Each structure stands twice: as C-alpha cells, then as structure tokens.
Structure 1
C-alpha cells in the first residue's frame, strides 16, 4: 500500500461508529472476562483496546514472553464480534527495566530521577528503552498481525515525557547540530550575546536545567521542539514496525487535549487516525465549550473523521474534587463528539478498577455493576450510536471560519520573562473559540502556514511568534478579500523568538492600519479598561493609528482616545480582550459581514447546532427544556419520529435530524 493509500479510520469502523474503550482484563480473574463480554454485547460495544499497560504481564522478565492470556482474549473478542485495537505497552515499562537499566529513566530539570512505580517513566532518548520497546512491538505485531479480531494499532499512550538527563543532553546536541550546522548559527538564533552565554563547543550545551535565574528563551524554545521530535521518533519507530506487518490496518496514538508538549500538527501528519482523550469537568459551566474546542481541533488535525479514544463515563480521580456526571450528560457530550466529526466514542475504561491509582476513576461498568446508572446509560448510548451510525459514519463537517493555532508560537510566548503572567495562551484561545461557539458558529482550526483560502473568515486569537512564511500567508489571505481578525501580541517575534522591529511585524502593522505600537499596557488580575461600547480585559496597547477605516477607542486613563479595535479593509486588530459577551457580539458581527451565519437562526443560548453532512445535531446543554425552531420536516434518528418546524429538547437532550 502506497503512502497515498494509507489506511484510515474507515478501515477500522467498517461502516459503524466504534464504541467501547480501554479493557484491562489482566486486573481480573478469567471468569470475569466472560461476564464482561456478555455486558459488552448487551451495551452494543464493538471495539476494545487491549494491552495499553500490559508490559510487565507480557514480558515479566527481560526477554520472556507471556502471550497466552492475550491469545485467549483476542480469540474471545473475535468469537463475540468485538474488534480489538491492540496497543503497544510501551508507555509503562516494567519495574525490572528501571532496576536493571537506570539509563531508561527520565531526569527532571533539577536533576531528580523519575522512578518506576507510576507510568510514563521512560527516557525518550534512551537506546536501551527504544531497543526493548521495538522488541516487544515486533513480537506483538508478528503474533497478532494476522488475527481476525485486530482492527487497528494504538502506539504507547499519551506521550508526555520530558527528560533533562545526560542521554537527553547528547540527543539534544545532535538535534541542534542537525538544525544549525554551526555554533555561530546557534549562538545567533539563541541570542547568546546576552548574559555572556556564547558557546564555543557543542559539548557545552545542555538541556535547560534549573538555573540561578531565568533561562535562555531560545534554548527553552528549541528544547520544547526537540522533546516533541524525540517522542515522535519513538512513535514512528513502533508505528513502522506494526505497519510492516499489517500495512492494511490504521495506526494511532492518543493526544491529550491542547497538550503543551507535542506539536500535534506535525504528529497528525504521521498518524493514520488522529485520536484524543477528552475529560471536561462536569461542574464546569464551560465544559461543553471546552469539549467543542478539542473536538474542532482534533477534526482539523485529522482533516476528517477522528477518534475519541478516552473519556470518562462518570468521575475522574485526578481533580481536587471529582464530581460524577449528572444523568444524561455522558450521552450528550458523546453525541457532541459525533456531531463534531468523531467516528469512534470510547472510554477509559471498561470496568472500574478495584485496586491501583485509578480505582476511583469511573468505568463503563462502575463499582455499582450491571444495575448501576453508569452502565445503564452506557447501554442507552450504545443503542443511540447504532441507530445513527449508518447515516453519520464517514461524513464531513464544513466550517467557514478557521481559528489559527501553532505550538511554536505558544512555546515561544510562554517564556519566564514575559510582560504578564496573567496572559495564558490556552485561556486566550478558549476565549475566542468560546465567543464563536456561543455565537453558534462552527470553526475549524488551522496552522498559520496552511491554505486559508477555503475560509470566509480567519481569526488569530494570539500568535506571538510567526515565521515570514506565516505572515506572508496572512497577508495574501487578507489582500485576497478574506476577513482576518487578529488579537493582541500577534506577530511580535520571529521563529527564533527575536522581537521584530517596532514590536510587531511592520507588514502586519501596515495591514491593520497601525503607524506605531508605542507600548504594551498589560492589566492586573481583575482589572478592566473602558472602551467604546465594552470593557477590555487582560491587556491594552498604546497604538498610534495610520489610516484605518474604522476604530473603537479606549475611554479614560492613559490610553484615552487611542484605538482599542482597528479595521482596515477586511483586516481587524484587537489590542485588548473584550469581555465575553462583547467578544461574542463583535465576532458575530464581523462573521455576518463576511457572509458566515449560524446553522439556524434564533437558537436558544444553551443549544448547540452542528451540521455533519446532511444531518443536523441539536444539543441542549441546559438543565431546562427548550424549544428550537427548525423550519421544515425532519426525521429524528434518535427517536424515530418526524419533526415539523420545531422540536422540544429536555434537559441534556439531543436530536439528530435528517431532512
């Protein structure tokens, strides 16, 4: 199979919505396995992930192989029509590995070794770890590559390891030499003339370890890039092994949502299936919006259907207070994922553990067992997914708005010596996405160097560092008639975190109608600044305009009369973060001017409407019943009933309407 014919999620779904989750039968006696299968079939489970944390069970001592229990389970799943996503167990090495090979253990920035006894305790740069990981992956692929139960491969789990030890230092130096070629180029990129940091030998370069004072931002930025690349090397090594044995089966590894340590744009290009783990807080009033953001981002990385690899059927165990999901919320948020492009709805985990660190993390079968509310709601969801699967699987979503996001810009802006620790990039990103979500506007995400021409409107909540190619891309988009809306602290630095002359790229200043950006004025926690028609938060800027077509000005204080919002032609610049309702109204007005409108007019505030293919998903995120105007006659796939012109949704209820 050629690279252009790589398998994708459709090769695993086979016309179904995958439904199931992580199954850890090694925690249970064999008689429980048969009871699990009975309950799985009753709930409509058609997929389980095996082996994620099974390394010590599969390889109890170096070189040993204990596959008998896994043989039994693979056969059991196949006999009952349940597909297997087989995981490589390499996220959690056995205790013997760290004991016999201390070089496999990661080291923190202050020199502490991270020991076994938890998980993710591996050094991505350790040749020993990589050798053992390749060996167990090779043997798993050779043994089960032809098994009829196997539908997909899952590599490792939630890659999230940082390593500042000596092995990582040697790998970091190799990575830097490949990138910069000469020390002069490295010293220039890192700005080592500051604080007498110039390097005269590659051997003098270390990962950023605990310093007396602030670290070199260029060094930290490259170390973040390096870490993402090293983890990606680990993934690709295992992926290539399983792909050699089963070129017809898709391969994935699960992202954590908006995770700081991985450039998921790069990673997504190496995956056949893009998958994510998603755990919104059921007590968070913005939980649904946070879920929508992650779903939109994952769908955009996948460029089509994606996989919800993990969610919780009830409470998690890692918040300060772990609240269960109220009745109906698990179903609602699962259908939200399908509405926004998921072709797989899965959980961690199938049966709630009785021992170990996650025994209070929920499972599809909770400690209450078959009669418990959690399992009964899982059964209902399984039936719902089976009803809508033939109509929804493989269908795409069309969005006319793109939100730009870039890990390099995030990493560069998160330096120690920034102007305000109150400005947190993920919070700014969420605020802009929330405004669009609350305006009932569906969005994609895109990298700033991606093709933006399919979109009527592009928003840039904040991209502190931009390459010249990215800036040229934004300019071409705006000058081609696209509506571009940028937030503060965008285009400040280049890819080496070198501040651009004028404090903002001069091409962008010209685009927005800014003659001089005199000074940044960050705001204290809770402080706001008055503007014409709204109040701004977090940030403000002392701007001298050139020739904008439209301005909204600051009122009072040091910036009185200066522009808070500028527009020149179809390019907008916001030098502050408007309060939530004001940002929603502003972006909705700009979108309307760009010809982008909600799926339905007059939607109640708590109702989310998303069109996937021909289907219209309506999701009531409120606790009170609500009536939605939906002109025309539709068929609700969830209830099997006809709907004419309007539909009433109860608390946490959903409808999937077909014309």
Structure 2
C-alpha cells in the first residue's frame, strides 16, 4: 500500500505541450495521485448541455500510463459564466439583501434548485464517462464546501429554511415555544412568516440564529449528498470524499463524517507564526477523530507561501517536510498540495506549488523530490492506525455558533478557547482525540469540555454517566449556560450537571483589565476575562479567586462521584495556569505528562515513534531505535531545525 503523494493538477491552465513535461516531473517527484478537475466546469461544459471531455480523456490517459491514479473532482465548486448569466437566481444574497456578483468562485446559493439541477447533470456525465476508468482512485465532491458561500439570505433560502423548520418542529406552536417568541412580540402565526436572520435593527432571536446555522450547514451537506448519490449509482465501489478545512465554523463536520468514505482536509498553518505547528496538530487530531480508526488524507497544503494572508511568509527550509510528517504521524495516509504547477495568472498565482514559478532548480522542488522519495520507504505505515488516546476534548459546533452570537455575556472566540486547551496538552506532551456531544466517551480516561456553552439534557446526562462510570471530566467555563434551544438551562447554569460536579453557579462575572481577577491555591494564574460566583455543594475547592466580585470564591473544584471525578474551572486562566490545571487533572487520573523541548512533538503510530522539531534551533531528544528514514540506529539524536526521525524498536 502506497501513501498518496501529489497535488491539485490543473492542466487546463497550460498548453498541451506542457503536459508531457508535467508527467515526467511527477514521476521524478514520486507522485502517486493527482487531483483533477476541481475548477474545470467551464472547460467541461463550455455551453449549457454541451460537454467537452476530449482534453480530460487525454489527461486521464497520460496519468494512467505513468502509473499515477486520479482523484477526480466533480467540478461543481465554481459555476461557469454561462450559468450565472442564464440563471442569475443562483447567485448569493447577503444578509443586507445585496446580490453578490460572479467572477470569483463558489458564487452560488447552496439552496438553489437550479444550481442543484445543473450541477448534478455535470456530475452524472462525469460519472458515466470516468466512473469505471482504471486510473480513478476516488471521487472528490465539490471543493471546500461553504468556504466562500457559507450562508445565503435570499428568498429561495428563506423557503428552504422554512421547510427545514417544518420538518424539525412540525407545528408553528412548537416552534414558538422553543424559540421563545413571546419575547419582543415575535410570535409567528404561520411558517410562511419566518425569514432567515437578515440584517435587523438590533439583536436577532438567538434560537433562530442557532437554527439558521444548523440549517445552513445541513444545506451544504445536502449538496454533497446529492452528488454522492449520483456517483454511487454510476460509479459503484469508488470511494467518495470532500475536502474539509479543520475547525471550520460554517459546517458541523461531526454531521458530515458518515457521508465520506474517508476524511480529507486542507491545512495552511502560518509559517510566520512559530506556534502554528500546534494549530496544524489540532487539525490533524480533529480529522482523525471524525472517523476513528480510518486513515485520512491531507488533501491540500502549501509547499511554501500562500496568497491570501496580509503577509504571506514562505515556509522555512524543511518546514514543509516537518509538517507533512506531522500529518502522517497523526493518521494521514496521503500528503497532497495545492497545487502541482504554480499558476501564472489568476487570484492564486502567488500561491506556491510543487513546481514553483522559478522551476526545478529551486529549494522547493528539491524538497518535493526528497519527500516523495522518502514516502516510498514508509509504505509499511500506510493503512495503520494511530489508536485512541487517553484524553479527549469536546468540540461542539452548537456551542461555537451560540457562544459567538452578539447577545452573550462576553465576546469569546470559541475556536481560540478550544485551541488553547489542545495546545496546553501538547505542551505537556499529551496527545488527544476530539469527541462530539454525541460521541462515546467510555474509551477515555480524561474528557475535557471547554466552553460547552450549549448542553442539552441528554448531553448533561451523558457527561454524568461518564463520570459515574469512572471517568475524569474537566468542565471549563463558560459551560452549560443554555440548552439546545438557546434557552437558559433549567435549574440554573449547568443544569443537572451542577449536582454531578458538586457546585452551584450563582452569577456570571466576566471582567475587564480595569478589574483584574486571578487564581490562588493549587493553581496560581491570571484570568483573561471570565469568572463566576460559585458555591461548593459537596465539591472540594482546589483554587479560589482573588479580586472582583468573585474574591474568595471557588475557581477550581474537584468532586469524586462514584468511581469517577468531576472538575469544574470557573475561569479562563492564562496559558501557564491552564497547564497547571491540566497537570492536576492528569496526575489525578494517573496520566504522567511528558517532558519535551518546547518545539518538539512526539507521536506514536502503529509501532513507529515520530519525533519532529518544529523549532529554529537544534534539540536533543531522548529516543532510541532504528530510524525508518535513514536506516540508522539512533540513541538520543539531535534534531536540526524542522528535523524528523521515525524510530522503531527499543
């Protein structure tokens, strides 16, 4: 079994006399898979109903003869000019009622029935022509669903939203009850009166906002499912995927995971940020967790710089290699790039490629060839599993959507909050999985629930069962403030889980820099912006607040419940304080943090241990064994900046 290695290949951007050179260079680089057709709708269907496949036939045959498999995209991510000219109703409408023009990509309303009809006709034509081609290895549906068109507020979306609500609530009375429409005279007499949450004078209904986010994620998924249905009918047995984007707010990837045969992901950590390798590690862990036990594919990364940041720093020498091995260590069976040959024109012409604009006498090309050669020596790891970790973090899109609405106690960045906990665990040498609100928690010794703002009764009961069955749970505020309908929890904040944790939350007390609050006791730390007035009701107080209206009150509590332990943190401590909290929780559950240099990660996959130095200075690491990359026996090796060793044996 081989690792995927390749890129988005866009031969339509180049004269055909370049294609033979592409194939020769792909073979030199060790390319095994090419993603083809992602943005080629206008080339495949230059006029409505007239398909031109000749050029794609020739590309398929060139790749097939070279032994390179094809990840064929359905080309539906960017409608051609004839489509939006003939059917302007497919265009996006923003929350202010402005119709957005074509001329970029993803310039379509995901709820558009016209778009759906025409896109599925293209998909069917592709599947009928290439669905049994021997070079085809997988189908790549769309591209980065929702990246540029996450929400539409036009009339067709309004009708689709109303239909979605009718399926969920059945009656308008039930919707009124659960949306709390008695507030501000918002009571509806019929579903036909409901609109998407368009621009309004002030705060919109929180339950309506949350349902619209759920609806919009579902609509994107419906487009994926519609294409998948066509592909499975006309190209049976060929796996299907679409490229995710890590922690991407508009799409709840927990609900998408069952609809792909394997997960693929696009990841672009910022080379200008020395800590961005931790952001990449989080993405890899989330992707692996979406389909446990199934390898995933890094569908896109950059060889060097991207084109869309305010400052597009290039990757340093060997940094691309280090980040590629990080993905493999954390479960990837493929390393792919955007794109193969750097474009000369268009909005992404400054985005790096496997073949840079400066050609093959370049550092980037030499690194590309080196990595391709090395991956051939690692085939024993392809298809293997990372295995479950001892610690899991809850990632919850409902909480993300609700917490970042306007009418909340404080402006909190949910992704940053979850990332901080994951990064702190990396600092302690502890690797983690992610779980959703409906995941099975029983395999984990420790579960951390940061900023679980939305918690239904079933979620609260599942967390209680986990603790009583012997698990260790750390709940970090703000948590359990509302139920699934954006209503404050029955029985006070945290609902029934407050009893499990042995506390009562009297009042939320976010604070600013003029009113500093800190923690003292077993944890000494500064809080960033959050505190709560907490009363212990059976829990042991581990740390207390100093300052503000919470002065002297519990900040960190612990309660033994049956066979397990429930911890509650009523604060958002600084990074050092977060690590101190985690040390207490981990040691309490029998997990010993590791001592690693600050820039180093150590990950085990199957019988191999990956050690990667993401720093700019050499480091010595305490590992021993045979390095799969060099074949040498190693004993406490020194890793150069962005150096990698993969050791097996004692």
Structure 2 residue aligned with 1:414, among 404, 407, 412? Answer: 404
Cross-structure match for 2:519: 531
Q: Cα offset for 1:502?
A: 4.9
Cross-structure match for 2:572: 577
Structure 1 CA distance for aligned equivalents of residues 583 and 603 of structure 2:
16
Cross-structure match for 1:165: 154
Cross-structure match for 1:71: 57
Aligned pairs (5 A) from 1:364-383 = 364-383=354-373
SS of the residue corresponding to residue 474 of structure 2 reads strand
Structure 2 residue aligned with 1:586, among 574, 578, 581? Answer: 581
Structure 2 residue aligned with 1:322, among 294, 301, 312? Answer: 312
Cross-structure match for 1:494: 483
Cross-structure match for 2:436: 447
Q: Cα offset for 1:449?
A: 2.0
Cross-structure match for 1:624: 617
Structure 1 residue aligned with 2:26, among 40, 50, 56? Answer: 40
Work out whether 1:337 is the aligned partner of 2:327: yes
Work out whether 1:640 is the aligned partner of 2:626: no
Structure 1 residue aligned with 2:76, among 90, 96, 102? Answer: 90
Report if the CA contact (8 A) 1:353-1:359 is conserved: yes
**Equivalenced residues, count:** 638
After TM superposition, what 4+ stretches of structure 1 lie above 4 angstroms from structure 2? Answer: 525-528
Report if the CA contact (8 A) 1:448-1:474 is conserved: no
Query: Structure 1 residues 528, 157: CA separation in 2 closer, same or farther (over 3 Å shift)?
Result: farther
Query: Structure 1 residues 277, 526: CA separation in 2 closer, same or farther (over 3 Å shift)?
Result: farther
State the Cα deviation string for residues 637-657 of structure 1 (Å, max 9, x = none). 11110123x111111101001
Structure 2 CA distance for aligned equivalents of residues 76 and 276 of structure 1:
27
Report if the CA contact (8 A) 1:618-1:656 is conserved: yes
Structure 2 CA distance for aligned equivalents of residues 397 and 525 of structure 1:
43
Structure 2 CA distance for aligned equivalents of residues 391 and 266 of structure 1:
29
Q: Cα offset for 1:394?
A: 2.7
Cross-structure match for 2:238: 249
Structure 1 CA distance for aligned equivalents of residues 54 and 110 of structure 2:
30
Structure 1 CA distance for aligned equivalents of residues 498 and 456 of structure 2:
15
Q: Cα offset for 1:526?
A: 9.1
Aligned pairs (5 A) from 1:545-560 = 545-560=536-551
Structure 2 CA distance for aligned equivalents of residues 62 and 475 of structure 1:
57
Structure 2 residue aligned with 1:152, among 104, 117, 138? Answer: 138
Query: Structure 1 residues 335, 526: CA separation in 2 closer, same or farther (over 3 Å shift)?
Result: farther
State the Cα deviation string for residues 162-191 of structure 1 (Å, max 9, x = none). 211011111111111111111001111111
Q: Cα offset for 1:489?
A: 1.4
Report if the CA contact (8 A) 2:267-2:298 is conserved: yes
SS of the residue corresponding to residue 517 of structure 2 reads strand
Work out whether 1:61 is the aligned partner of 2:52: no
Report if the CA contact (8 A) 2:393-2:422 is conserved: yes
SS of the residue corresponding to residue 137 of structure 2 reads strand
State the Cα deviation string for residues 169-223 of structure 1 (Å, max 9, x = none). 1111111111111100111111111111111121111111111111111111111
Aligned pairs (5 A) from 1:208-607 = 208-303=197-292, 304-421=294-411, 423-515=412-504, 517-524=505-512, 528-532=516-520, 533-569=524-560, 570-598=565-593, 601-607=594-600
TM-score for both structures, normalised by structure 2: 0.96
TM-score for both structures, normalised by structure 1: 0.95
Report if the CA contact (8 A) 2:450-2:478 is conserved: no
Structure 2 CA distance for aligned equivalents of residues 68 and 150 of structure 1:
17
Report if the CA contact (8 A) 2:516-2:547 is conserved: no
State the Cα deviation string for residues 133-173 of structure 1 (Å, max 9, x = none). 11000010000011111000000001112211011111111
SS of the residue corresponding to residue 224 of structure 1 reads helix
Cross-structure match for 1:187: 176
Cross-structure match for 1:5: none
Report if the CA contact (8 A) 1:527-1:538 is conserved: no
Work out whether 1:101 is the aligned partner of 2:82: no
Q: Cα offset for 1:593?
A: 2.3
Q: Cα offset for 1:297?
A: 0.4
Work out whether 1:25 is the aligned partner of 2:47: no
Report if the CA contact (8 A) 2:428-2:595 is conserved: no
Structure 2 CA distance for aligned equivalents of residues 548 and 329 of structure 1:
47
Structure 1 CA distance for aligned equivalents of residues 582 and 44 of structure 2:
54
Q: Cα offset for 1:522?
A: 1.1
State the Cα deviation string for residues 590-648 of structure 1 (Å, max 9, x = none). 112212235xx432222100011111000111111111112xx511011110123x111
